[in-house]
């Protein structure tokens, strides 16, 4: 065949290829995102680097066993290589990796019977063999290592059990027996008496211990409780945060304590009145960086500030007040977050992850003048990071993809080092959000987004769901959100925005004390009005609304103030500030934060801002969904609103998940997460698609 003839054949081959593919079976089209898509996504966390080697944890829902699997991995030639199973946290020790894991059945049985036990396993990095490294008769939580024979740790201790021990003259087996006999009896004598995800915490304290060559010494008061702690680079100083000894109501403020690790002498640093200290990092052996929340002192909602404290001279220097760029990534997602975010530093300032409007960048704040420099680009949402060479390693969500590990260079460019979730996402029809801007009543230009129905036809109208985030100091961004993508693949448009009170625009914007149910409600309605004006595929006659936690409160509030929505789903909600303030694990402080009062000072205001007051005005068919171990928004909140709608003959349904808590949609049992999403979708289908 001549060269000319070959060229002609190739030309026509490529020319007719698109027409041929158009006539092929649609099996080449991408799949629709389904109810259990989240279970296919791997969550990357606990990113660490050692001698140029990269390690991390992979977590994935396991539908078959209805739980989650965890594993320790190393990045080798761009591929994740599993090193060990059942690892959720790990430490570098003695040229190996140490992690907690109970592997003996007899040990598991002891723990079931109430025994305290922690077993550390050690992974040899040369042959990848795992062997038991250290066994202690204690429930170890945080650890600050000096070496295997000497370290500090925290352990949560039940004071009720300690009382039983005294009654039983120190006989632990007898005390365990008595505890087991009374397991069906719940005893509360403190506030808060329970905590979401932890259960009963009345009389529970987190103590600090010194482990030295087999001896364990309690370092804190039996009625005090420790939270953050960090050890200096030279291992000579331990700094921790403690609540002083208390009975009854837990103190709001905490205290900063410095401990000499050799002599065990302690010194308190009372830097501010009614402060809350946290997020401690050592700059050097004598100096720390920490966050200090002064909202109690200032009596308003505000971000914590960043400070330097010289432990030798006592000099305290404010680096940045946090007024605009607070600490942490608050952009919501339901496909898994990462581990602990740290403050790091260079010679000129500190670095940390913040929430900026609707994404989470890494920023640098100068010691000299507080100048803020963005170290990553807008499309990159940082979940976790560590300094690496001339830049950073980061776990991040970029666009509508699952999380991957990226290399961030000096210019903020993000280069993916892994492809753990990308092949999965490439198979499915992931919808890109459409940005919608609007100006609220205070003249603030706000962002909102609409996910179009997957494969929507121009000129056709589709039902739409307004999705309201929790918080209210949370935020929605442009990162992947499974439930929203599922609805978009199920024929819905999905609308979401960050009304006044949200994170990402500074302390002034997020402080809506006394205005809950006011400006935030009007922001949401203005956003919906703007969407109906600007987005032609949204059917204004087929609108649904839902939200969880604060979003559940707003859903309840909305259906009592407008009938524009044809269906609603109120998830882990608040219906009455009066009952919420007295049942939630954070109710007494949360109610004051957002209403500025309590039942005894101004019950009229609390009732006026309670959706339950307006339940007799509701006409919207509403689904209520709750968990029986949700101690953040107690089940009574959903039941009260459901009871009212039933009384007024409004179509309503109540779904209660057993053994789940406030975090069902993010960390609940996989089968319950599927059931939850199915119930919500079927409810909207019934009223918006008929």
- Stated as kind and residue range, the H or E segment containing 603 is helix 599-608
Query: Cβ distance 512 to 499 under 8 Å?
Result: no
Spatial separation of the C-alpha atoms in residues 451 and 466, rounded to whole Å? 11
Tokens of 299: 């009596």
Query: Cβ distance 497 to 447 under 8 Å?
Result: yes
Q: List, in order, residues 6 or more apart from 363 with CB less than 8 Å away.
A: 325, 351, 352, 353, 354, 372, 373, 374, 375
The helix/strand/coil state of 568 is strand
Q: What are phi and psi of 686, to 5 degrees?
A: -60, -35
Q: For residue 295, is it left (φ>0), alpha (ψ between -120 and 50) or beta?
A: alpha
Catalytic residue, candidates 255, 469, 626, 662: 662
Rounded to an integer, what is the distance from CA 89 to the centroid of its chain? 17
554-580 CB burial, b ≥16 within 10 A, e <16 = bbbbbbbeeebbbbbbbbbbbbbbbbb
Strand-strand pairing, 43-50 and 53-62:
antiparallel
Tell the burial category of 439 from Cβ atoms under 10 Å away from its Cβ (0-12, 13-18, 19+). exposed
Tell the burial category of 167 from Cβ atoms under 10 Å away from its Cβ (0-12, 13-18, 19+). exposed
Tokens of 542: 């087929």
Q: What are phi and psi of 685, to 5 degrees?
A: -55, -40
Tell the burial category of 169 from Cβ atoms under 10 Å away from its Cβ (0-12, 13-18, 19+). exposed
Long-range CB contact pairs, 353-356, < 8 A, 24+: 353/327, 353/328, 353/329, 353/382, 353/385, 354/325, 354/326, 354/327, 354/328, 354/329, 355/326, 355/328, 355/329, 355/330, 355/331, 355/475, 355/503, 355/504, 356/325, 356/504
Catalytic residue, candidates 549, 581, 627, 665: 549
Instruction: Identify whether 549 is a catalytic site residue.
Output: yes
Rounded to an integer, what is the distance from CA 574 to the centroid of its chain? 20
Q: List, in order, residues 6 or more apart from 392 with CB less than 8 Å away.
A: 362, 375, 385, 386, 407, 408
Spatial separation of the C-alpha atoms in residues 255 and 192, rounded to whole Å? 19
Instruction: Identify whether 662 is a catalytic site residue.
Output: yes
List Cα–Cα distances, 521 to 221, 359, 472, 558, in angstroms. Answer: 46, 23, 12, 7
Query: Cβ distance 184 to 121 under 8 Å?
Result: no
Cβ neighbours, 10 Å, residue 196: 20
List, by residue number, the catalytic residues: 549, 662
């Amino acid at each position: 065949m001549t060269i000319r003839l070959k060229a002609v054949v190739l030309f026509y081959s490529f020319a007719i290829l698109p027409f041929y593919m158009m006539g092929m079976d649609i099996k080449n089209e991408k799949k629709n995102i389904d109810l259990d898509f989240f279970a296919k996504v791997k969550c990357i966390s606990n990113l660490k680097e050692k001698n140029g080697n990269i390690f991390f944890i992979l977590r994935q829902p396991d539908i078959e066993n209805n739980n989650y699997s965890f594993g320790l991995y190393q990045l080798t030639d761009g591929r994740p290589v599993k090193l060990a199973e059942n690892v959720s946290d790990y430490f570098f020790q003695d040229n190996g990796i140490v992690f907690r894991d109970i592997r003996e059945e007899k040990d598991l049985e002891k723990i079931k019977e109430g025994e305290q036990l922690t077993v550390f396993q050690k992974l040899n990095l040369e042959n990848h063999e795992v062997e038991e490294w250290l066994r202690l008769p204690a429930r170890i939580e945080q650890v600050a290592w000096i070496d295997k024979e000497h370290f500090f740790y925290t352990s949560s201790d039940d004071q009720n059990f300690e009382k039983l021990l005294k009654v039983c003259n120190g006989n632990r087996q007898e005390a365990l027996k008595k505890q087991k006999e009374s397991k069906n009896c719940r005893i509360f004598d403190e506030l808060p008496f329970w905590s979401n995800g932890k259960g009963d915490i009345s009389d529970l304290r987190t103590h600090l211990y010194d482990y030295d060559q087999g001896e364990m010494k309690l370092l804190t008061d039996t009625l005090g409780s420790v939270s953050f702690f960090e050890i200096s680079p030279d291992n000579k100083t331990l700094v921790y945060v403690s609540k002083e000894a208390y009975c009854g109501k837990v103190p709001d403020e905490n205290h900063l304590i410095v401990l000499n690790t050799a002599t065990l002498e302690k010194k308190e640093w009372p830097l501010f009145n009614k402060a809350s200290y946290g997020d401690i990092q050592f700059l050097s052996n004598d100096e720390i960086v920490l966050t200090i929340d002064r909202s109690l002192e200032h009596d308003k909602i505000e971000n914590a500030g960043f400070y330097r404290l010289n432990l030798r001279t006592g000099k305290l220097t404010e680096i940045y007040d946090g007024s605009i760029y607070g600490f942490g990534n608050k952009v919501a997602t339901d496909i898994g977050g990462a581990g602990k975010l740290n403050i790091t530093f260079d010679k000129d300032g500190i670095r940390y992850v913040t929430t900026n409007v609707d994404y989470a960048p890494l920023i640098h704040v100068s010691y000299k003048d507080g100048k803020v420099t963005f170290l990553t680009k807008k499309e990159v949402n940082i979940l976790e990071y560590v300094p690496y060479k001339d830049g950073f390693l980061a776990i991040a969500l970029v666009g509508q993809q699952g999380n991957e590990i990226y290399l961030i260079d000096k210019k903020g460019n993000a280069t993916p080092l892994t492809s753990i979730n990308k092949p999965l996402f490439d198979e499915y029809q992931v919808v890109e959000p459409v940005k919608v801007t609007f100006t609220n009543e205070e003249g603030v230009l706000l962002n909102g987004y609409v996910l179009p129905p997957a494969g929507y036809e121009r000129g056709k109208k589709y039902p739409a769901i307004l999705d309201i985030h929790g918080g209210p100091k949370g935020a929605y961004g442009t990162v992947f959100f499974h439930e929203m993508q599922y609805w978009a693949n199920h024929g819905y448009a999905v609308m979401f925005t960050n009304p006044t009170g949200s994170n990402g625009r500074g302390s002034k914007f997020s402080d809506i004390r006394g205005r809950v149910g006011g400006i935030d409600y009007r922001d949401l309605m203005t956003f919906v009005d703007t969407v109906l004006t600007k987005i032609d595929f949204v059917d204004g006659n087929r609108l649904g609304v839902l939200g969880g936690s604060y979003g559940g409160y707003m859903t309840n509030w909305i259906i009592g103030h407008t009938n524009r929505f044809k269906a609603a789903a109120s998830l882990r909600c608040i219906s009455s500030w009066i009952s919420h303030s007295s049942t939630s694990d954070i109710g007494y402080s949360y109610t004051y934060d957002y209403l500025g009062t309590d039942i005894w000072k101004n019950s009229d205001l609390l009732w006026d801002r309670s959706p339950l007051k307006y339940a007799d005005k509701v006409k919207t068919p509403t689904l209520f969904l709750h968990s029986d171990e949700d101690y953040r928004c107690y089940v009574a909140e959903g039941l009260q609103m459901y009871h009212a709608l039933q009384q007024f003959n409004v179509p309503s349904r109540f779904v209660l998940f057993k053994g789940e808590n406030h975090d069902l949609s993010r960390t609940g049992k996989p089968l319950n997460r599927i059931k939850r999403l199915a119930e919500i979708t079927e409810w909207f289908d019934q009223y918006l698609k008929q």
